[in-house]
């Protein structure tokens, strides 16, 4: 995902100098937001997989204990 940031940085370099800092800040913020959102989505899906796996394990243990 870092290549997006590099592309945004080079794109902002072509802007007029007086607009550069504002555009750069906006693009940088968007880039960071995208990366954080992407990472959070990845972590949440991993959490879901782990909790689902644990629920299955607990269900099996309870089932064998009650049998």
Q: What is the pLDDT of residues 16-58, one digit of tens each?
A: 555 557 777 888 888 889 888 888 888 888 888 888 888 898 8
Residue 8 has pLDDT above 80, yes or no: no
Which pLDDT does position 18 carry in this prediction? 54
Which pLDDT does position 1 carry in this prediction? 46
Q: List, in sequence order, the alpha helices (H) in the chain.
A: 2-13, 17-66
Place of tokens 């940085």: 9
This prediction's pTM: 0.43
Q: Look at 55 and 10; give whichever has higher pLDDT.
A: 55
Which pLDDT does position 62 carry in this prediction? 85
Cβ pair 30, 4 in contact under 8 A? no
- Structural domain boundaries of the chain? 2-66
Comparing C-alpha atoms, which of 26, 37, 45, 25 is closest to residue 1? 37
């Amino acid at each position: 995902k870092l290549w997006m940031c590099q592309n945004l940085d080079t794109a902002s370099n072509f802007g007029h100098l007086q607009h550069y800092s504002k555009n750069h800040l906006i693009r940088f913020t968007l880039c960071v937001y995208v990366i954080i959102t992407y990472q959070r989505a990845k972590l949440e899906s991993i959490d879901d997989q782990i909790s689902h796996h644990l629920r299955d394990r607990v269900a099996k243990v309870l089932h064998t204990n009650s049998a």
